[in-house]
Every structure is written in structure tokens, then in C-alpha cells.
A and B are shown apart, each in its own frame.
Chain A
Amino acid sequence: MLTKRIIACLDMDGGRVVKGVQFVNLRDAGDPAECAAAHARDGADEIVLLDITATSDKRNTMLDVVSRTARCLFVPFTVGGGIRELSDATAVFDAGADKIAINSAAVKDPALIAKIAARFGSQAVVVAIDARRVNNGFEVFVAGGRTPTGRDAIQWAREAAACGAGEIMLTSMDRDGTKAGFDCELTQLVADAVSIPVIASGGAGSPQHFIDVFRDGRADAALAASIFHFGLENIGQLKRELQAANVPVRWPC
């Protein structure tokens, strides 16, 4: 049976793993390569490394960190942050990523999705969407959540899928870092709108939140960062609780 994926996300700044609350107030949480290996041993189904300040600082993704992290990581490995064109994506793949996540650059130029997919396959292209609740729906924000776009998140997810995205990584900015639970309504709207997998992100704080987003949000995968880094929850323990609630997971692994 296809299982629900638990994805450990490493938000990276200046070569270190950090985690903020609602995109600010960053705290240091360790070396990316060590964190990634530890999460994989604990049972993470996938690792995501996001260079969270890459776009705003106009820096390239730290390729040496990617390469060091990828070397002994034998689960799917996604890298995002600062990928603006095909050559940026190529460099990240060459460094050892299996998938790239694009956000701002895809909104600016949706053709970039097709361009990367044509060269590396759709399975390698994750479109990350940062969405915030507004009066009549969910609005897409870019540049690390700093810039509103006026675009509807559900509509944009559909367009990204049509352009050749392989997965949607959907972050609720309202929930990010709050540990108040995933935004199941947002997740469900996007999951029902596209046929590609949807990764729910933002708000994980307890095993029940994962159960909710898999059942009510119809997410294919759920991503969390701080919950794992600060020892609040062990992935194995999380998976055992999901299993007890009849959510199919890869465990033992």
C-alpha cells in the first residue's frame, strides 16, 4: 500500500540549519548534513533542504552543503532556495539533489517549470507555494513570504501542475512555526485541484496534526522542521502513532 510520507525539512541560513516562527526570529539547529543523516536514520521518508534567505539575499544555493548532505543520503533529497533558471537547477542536481523546489522564480516565469521538467523529468520538479489566508481565499506570497502576488493559491497550483510540476509543496504561512496544526482546508482544496502529490507544510505540532492533514487535508505527504530539530517528537514515535490511527506509513524501516 502506498504510504503517507513524513518529510523532514531543514531550513538553512549561512550554511546552518535554522528555524523561525512565521518566517522570522531564526534559531540555530545544527549542521545540515548531520541533521539530514540523523532524520533519515530516525525514519524520515524524505529530506528537504531550503536555503531560506537565498532569494532575498540574491545568493546562489550553497552547493557545497548540498553535495556534503547528498553524499550518504539514500532517501529522496529535495533542495530549494535561489533557483532562478535552468542552470541553477542543473548545478543543484549536479551537487546531488534528486528534486529541486522552486517558488518565486516559477511564479515569475511558469515556463521555468516546463524547462526543468523537460531536462530532468517532472518527478524532479517540486513547486513550492507559500499561501496566506485573505478575505476570499488563499493568496500566493513569494520571496520567502515577503511579497504578496495577488494570485490565488489553488489556481496557481493547477497551473503549476499543468506546466509539468511533479509535486506541490504547500506551506500555510499563517500556521508556519506556530505548532497549531496544518491548514487542512487549504491542503484539501489544493489536493482536490491537482492530480500530483501535495506535501502539506506549516503548523506541525503533534501526531494528531499529521493524522488530521492526511485524513481531512488529503495530503500525500507532510513536512515539518522544528518539531524534529528540537527533540519534541521522534519520527519513529510519530510513525507508530500514525500506524495506530490506521494511517499507512513506512514503518519499521
Chain B
Amino acid sequence: MIAIVDYGAGNLNSVKKAFDHLGANVVVTTQPETISTADKIVLPGVGHFSALGALDNTGLRDAVLQGANAGKPFLGICLGMQWLFEGSDEAPKFAGAGFFNGRCRPFPSSVKSPHVGWNSLAVREGSRLLRNVAPESFVYYTHSFQAPVVASTTAATEYGTEFSAVVERDNIFGVQFHPEKSWTVGLLMLKNFCEL
């Protein structure tokens, strides 16, 4: 069973719908106990980094971290991916999980922010999440802060600066864009996650 973590920020229907379409056994949950019994964990999220503070106040953070540290495949989407880094300038007092080094920062002033729309990936070799994904596929973004390119970056996107589109290390995966809204390319990535 795949648990989609509901910490009260935004609309999780689209993420659930995409997994449903793939035939996955998926639940949206606010309960740490459900996360503990799941095989895989998905942390979605839109909006402000401070919304992740709700993880800390509800016992969800511990359940999510336990699962991730126990080796369960974990996918952070958008804000959920940013959480995998050390933190974000958007809400400096909230700590990220620190699976990846660096902090999320705003886009340079040379480009309009937020970054909204379909942008292309520069896919690096060896990604498990992007198996069979064409190297310059387009995916749908909507975000105001971006994570740096790190050693674990398996795809990058260019918008004023180069930022991490996909990060992955062992069982931990993160995507800055919305695979559930990225047409067949996005569904392929979610399918790859289901099959891990």
C-alpha cells in the first residue's frame, strides 16, 4: 500500500487519481499509524514551505522519517521534494529532512516568479525514477523556490538558473514538478515508483 501523506496543505486528489489510474493500492492519510504500515510513502505539497510545519505538530514527521530511514521507497513532490533538503529561504525557521545538502532559494530576479508551465528536463543516466523517460521530456511546474543541483540530482531544469528537477538516492526520491499533471511522461515516472 502507498500512503499519500495529508498534512492539510493543498489538494491531494490529483496525486491519488494518478496512482488510482495506474491500479496502485493507495490511500490518503493524516494518520502516523497508516504511514507506519505502508510499503511506500508519498509526500506531496503545494504552497508555502511553512505548511510543512504541520508535519512537526501532528506526529507525521516522525512516522515519515521512520519509514524513509527504514528503506521504504519515498517520493516527495514539489514542496515535498524541497523538504528533502536542509531547508528553504521561504520559511527559515522550519527544518527540512536533510536527506540532500543545500537549501531552497528563490529564482533570480532576471525571470518572472513563480515558474509556471511546462519546462524540459535534462536527464542524467542511471535514474531509476526516470527509467524509459525520454531525455528532454517536458513536465509541468508551479513553484517559487528551487532546490540546488547536487550529486544526487538525476535531472535538472533551467529557469533563470539550473535547479534540481529530480533527486534520488537509495530509497529517497524527489521531483520538483507535478508528475500527476505531466501527461504520460509523469504517469511513467509514477509507474516506475510503484514498481520499485
Contact = CB atoms under 8 A, between A and B. Distances in A.
Query: Is A bound to B?
Result: yes
A3 B14 contact: no
B105 interface: no
Contacts of A235: none
Contacts of A221: 117
Given A76-B181, A124-B10, A3 B117 contact: yes
B113 interface: yes
A221 B117 CA distance: 9
Interface in B32-74: 46-48
Most buried by A among B47, B182, B184: B47
B11 A166 contact: no
Interface string A110-132: 00000000001111100000000
A4 B118 CA distance: 8
Interface of B: 9-11, 13-14, 17-18, 21, 46-48, 112-120, 138, 140, 142-143, 158-159, 178, 180-184, 186-187
Given A120-B11, A122-B47, A122-B114, 5 more contacts: A1-B120, A74-B184, A96-B13, A167-B116, A253-B138
B116 A123 contact: yes
A74 B120 contact: no
Contact of B187 (A74, A96, A253): A74
Nearest to A43: B183
Contacts of B143: 123
A13 interface: no
B114 A196 contact: yes
B118 A250 contact: yes
B17 A70 contact: yes
- Closest 7 interchain pairs by CB? A121-B47, A123-B142, A121-B46, A250-B138, A250-B118, A93-B11, A2-B119
14 contacts: A1-B119, A2-B119, A3-B120, A4-B117, A5-B117, A45-B117, A74-B183, A74-B184, A76-B178, A93-B11, A98-B14, A121-B47, A122-B47, A196-B112
Contacts of A120: 10-11, 46-47
Nearest to A124: B11
Contacts of A71: 17
Interface of A: 1-5, 40, 45, 70-72, 74-76, 93-94, 96, 98, 120-124, 166-167, 195-197, 220-221, 250, 253
Given A74-B182, A124-B46, A3 B119 contact: yes
B181 A98 contact: yes
A167 B17 CA distance: 24
A74 B117 contact: no
A166 B11 CA distance: 15
Contacts of B18: 74
B186 to A, nearest CB: 6
B71 to A, nearest CB: 29
B137 to A, nearest CB: 9
Nearest to A221: B117
Contact of A72 (B10, B21, B113, B118): B21
B49 to A, nearest CB: 12
Nearest to A249: B118
